[in-house]
Structure 1
Amino acid sequence: MSETLERFIDQGVGREPADIVLKGGRFFDLVTGELVASDVAISGDRIVGTCGAYEGREEIDVSGRIVVPGFIDTHLHIESSLVTPHEF
Protein backbone atom coordinates (compact mmCIF):
# COMPACT_ATOMS: atom_id res chain seq x y z
CA MET A 1 0.00 0.00 0.00
CA SER A 2 1.36 3.41 -0.85
CA GLU A 3 2.37 5.80 1.91
CA THR A 4 -0.19 8.34 0.68
CA LEU A 5 -3.06 5.83 0.74
CA GLU A 6 -2.04 4.72 4.24
CA ARG A 7 -2.10 8.37 5.37
CA PHE A 8 -5.56 8.89 3.82
CA ILE A 9 -6.86 5.84 5.68
CA ASP A 10 -5.20 6.73 9.00
CA GLN A 11 -6.59 10.27 8.88
CA GLY A 12 -10.01 9.12 7.65
CA VAL A 13 -10.52 6.71 10.55
CA GLY A 14 -9.04 9.14 13.09
CA ARG A 15 -5.80 7.31 13.92
CA GLU A 16 -3.91 10.52 13.18
CA PRO A 17 -5.03 14.15 12.82
CA ALA A 18 -6.26 15.15 9.38
CA ASP A 19 -4.46 17.97 7.59
CA ILE A 20 -7.58 20.17 7.73
CA VAL A 21 -10.89 19.65 9.52
CA LEU A 22 -14.00 21.71 8.86
CA LYS A 23 -15.62 21.79 12.31
CA GLY A 24 -19.20 22.37 13.38
CA GLY A 25 -20.94 22.64 10.04
CA ARG A 26 -23.56 20.61 8.28
CA PHE A 27 -22.83 18.84 5.02
CA PHE A 28 -25.28 18.03 2.27
CA ASP A 29 -25.64 14.27 1.79
CA LEU A 30 -26.38 13.78 -1.91
CA VAL A 31 -27.68 10.24 -1.31
CA THR A 32 -30.31 11.06 1.32
CA GLY A 33 -30.82 14.74 0.50
CA GLU A 34 -30.36 15.58 4.19
CA LEU A 35 -28.16 18.07 5.97
CA VAL A 36 -25.94 16.12 8.37
CA ALA A 37 -24.18 17.75 11.34
CA SER A 38 -20.60 16.52 11.12
CA ASP A 39 -16.96 17.45 10.73
CA VAL A 40 -15.29 17.00 7.34
CA ALA A 41 -11.70 15.68 7.38
CA ILE A 42 -9.31 16.58 4.54
CA SER A 43 -5.94 15.00 3.77
CA GLY A 44 -3.95 16.82 1.11
CA ASP A 45 -6.48 17.46 -1.64
CA ARG A 46 -8.84 14.61 -0.67
CA ILE A 47 -11.87 14.42 1.57
CA VAL A 48 -11.09 11.42 3.76
CA GLY A 49 -13.86 11.51 6.33
CA THR A 50 -17.35 12.70 7.11
CA CYS A 51 -19.96 11.69 9.70
CA GLY A 52 -17.61 11.91 12.64
CA ALA A 53 -15.73 14.14 15.04
CA TYR A 54 -12.18 14.60 13.74
CA GLU A 55 -9.02 16.30 14.97
CA GLY A 56 -6.96 18.32 12.53
CA ARG A 57 -3.57 19.98 12.25
CA GLU A 58 -5.62 22.97 11.08
CA GLU A 59 -9.23 23.32 12.17
CA ILE A 60 -11.63 25.74 10.51
CA ASP A 61 -14.85 26.68 12.30
CA VAL A 62 -17.73 26.46 9.83
CA SER A 63 -20.50 26.58 12.45
CA GLY A 64 -23.80 27.68 10.96
CA ARG A 65 -22.62 26.94 7.43
CA ILE A 66 -23.46 24.24 4.93
CA VAL A 67 -20.57 22.30 3.40
CA VAL A 68 -21.04 20.56 0.05
CA PRO A 69 -17.98 18.31 -0.40
CA GLY A 70 -17.32 17.84 -4.07
CA PHE A 71 -20.87 17.29 -5.34
CA ILE A 72 -19.98 13.63 -5.85
CA ASP A 73 -22.10 12.05 -8.57
CA THR A 74 -23.83 9.15 -6.83
CA HIS A 75 -25.71 7.91 -9.91
CA LEU A 76 -24.51 4.64 -11.41
CA HIS A 77 -25.77 1.56 -13.24
CA ILE A 78 -24.44 -1.61 -11.65
CA GLU A 79 -26.51 -3.81 -13.96
CA SER A 80 -24.77 -2.54 -17.09
CA SER A 81 -21.35 -3.49 -15.68
CA LEU A 82 -22.30 -7.20 -15.89
CA VAL A 83 -20.95 -7.86 -12.39
CA THR A 84 -22.69 -8.42 -9.07
CA PRO A 85 -22.85 -5.56 -6.55
CA HIS A 86 -20.23 -7.37 -4.44
CA GLU A 87 -17.81 -7.51 -7.39
CA PHE A 88 -18.50 -3.90 -8.33
Structure 2
Amino acid sequence: MLTVTVSHKGQVVIPADIRRKLGITPGCQLDFHLEGHVIHAEVKRQLAPTRAEDGFGMLVCNKPGKRSLADFDVAQAMREGANDRA
Protein backbone atom coordinates (compact mmCIF):
# COMPACT_ATOMS: atom_id res chain seq x y z
CA MET A 1 0.00 0.00 0.00
CA LEU A 2 1.28 3.47 -0.90
CA THR A 3 0.62 6.52 1.23
CA VAL A 4 0.31 10.02 -0.22
CA THR A 5 -0.28 13.39 1.43
CA VAL A 6 -3.30 15.58 0.73
CA SER A 7 -2.36 19.16 -0.22
CA HIS A 8 -4.00 22.24 1.29
CA LYS A 9 -6.17 22.32 -1.87
CA GLY A 10 -7.39 18.76 -1.28
CA GLN A 11 -5.22 17.36 -4.07
CA VAL A 12 -3.26 14.11 -4.10
CA VAL A 13 -0.71 12.72 -6.53
CA ILE A 14 -1.48 9.28 -7.90
CA PRO A 15 1.79 7.33 -7.79
CA ALA A 16 3.43 6.94 -11.21
CA ASP A 17 3.36 3.14 -11.12
CA ILE A 18 -0.42 3.15 -10.63
CA ARG A 19 -0.92 5.80 -13.34
CA ARG A 20 1.09 3.71 -15.80
CA LYS A 21 -0.75 0.47 -14.98
CA LEU A 22 -4.16 2.13 -15.40
CA GLY A 23 -3.18 4.29 -18.38
CA ILE A 24 -3.99 7.49 -16.51
CA THR A 25 -2.61 10.46 -18.42
CA PRO A 26 -3.20 14.22 -18.16
CA GLY A 27 -6.81 14.95 -19.05
CA CYS A 28 -8.17 11.55 -17.96
CA GLN A 29 -11.24 11.71 -15.79
CA LEU A 30 -11.82 9.72 -12.62
CA ASP A 31 -15.15 8.91 -10.98
CA PHE A 32 -15.11 8.88 -7.18
CA HIS A 33 -17.60 7.29 -4.82
CA LEU A 34 -17.61 6.76 -1.11
CA GLU A 35 -18.32 3.44 0.56
CA GLY A 36 -18.18 3.84 4.31
CA HIS A 37 -14.74 5.31 4.96
CA VAL A 38 -13.29 4.04 1.68
CA ILE A 39 -12.91 6.23 -1.39
CA HIS A 40 -13.14 4.36 -4.70
CA ALA A 41 -11.73 5.93 -7.86
CA GLU A 42 -12.48 4.57 -11.32
CA VAL A 43 -10.99 5.73 -14.62
CA LYS A 44 -14.01 7.19 -16.42
CA ARG A 45 -12.53 7.43 -19.87
CA GLN A 46 -9.10 7.32 -21.32
CA LEU A 47 -7.98 9.77 -23.94
CA ALA A 48 -7.10 8.29 -27.30
CA PRO A 49 -3.78 9.36 -28.79
CA THR A 50 -4.23 12.42 -30.96
CA ARG A 51 -2.98 13.00 -34.46
CA ALA A 52 -2.08 16.29 -36.12
CA GLU A 53 -5.01 15.94 -38.52
CA ASP A 54 -7.43 15.80 -35.55
CA GLY A 55 -6.92 19.55 -35.16
CA PHE A 56 -7.78 20.36 -38.78
CA GLY A 57 -10.10 23.35 -39.01
CA MET A 58 -9.66 24.46 -35.41
CA LEU A 59 -7.74 27.57 -36.41
CA VAL A 60 -9.20 29.80 -39.07
CA CYS A 61 -7.49 32.65 -40.88
CA ASN A 62 -9.87 35.04 -42.63
CA LYS A 63 -7.10 37.10 -44.23
CA PRO A 64 -7.19 37.12 -48.03
CA GLY A 65 -4.70 35.24 -50.17
CA LYS A 66 -3.10 31.84 -50.01
CA ARG A 67 -1.61 31.03 -46.60
CA SER A 68 0.79 28.39 -45.38
CA LEU A 69 1.49 27.10 -41.90
CA ALA A 70 4.86 28.88 -41.96
CA ASP A 71 2.97 32.20 -42.25
CA PHE A 72 0.91 31.51 -39.15
CA ASP A 73 2.02 32.92 -35.79
CA VAL A 74 0.16 30.93 -33.11
CA ALA A 75 1.11 33.31 -30.28
CA GLN A 76 -0.17 36.33 -32.21
CA ALA A 77 -3.43 34.55 -33.08
CA MET A 78 -3.96 33.70 -29.40
CA ARG A 79 -3.35 37.32 -28.37
CA GLU A 80 -5.79 38.56 -31.02
CA GLY A 81 -8.38 35.99 -29.94
CA ALA A 82 -8.03 37.03 -26.31
CA ASN A 83 -8.51 40.66 -27.32
CA ASP A 84 -11.61 39.75 -29.33
CA ARG A 85 -13.15 38.03 -26.30
CA ALA A 86 -12.36 40.91 -23.92
TM-score (normalizing by structure 2): 0.22
Q: Structure 1 or 2: larger helix share?
A: 2
Determine which structure has more spread, i.e. the larger CA radius of gyration.
Answer: 2
Considering Cα pairs closer than 8 Å and 6+ residues apart, tell me whether 1 or 2 has the greater RCO.
1
Q: Structure 1 or 2: larger strand share?
A: 1
TM-score (normalizing by structure 1): 0.22
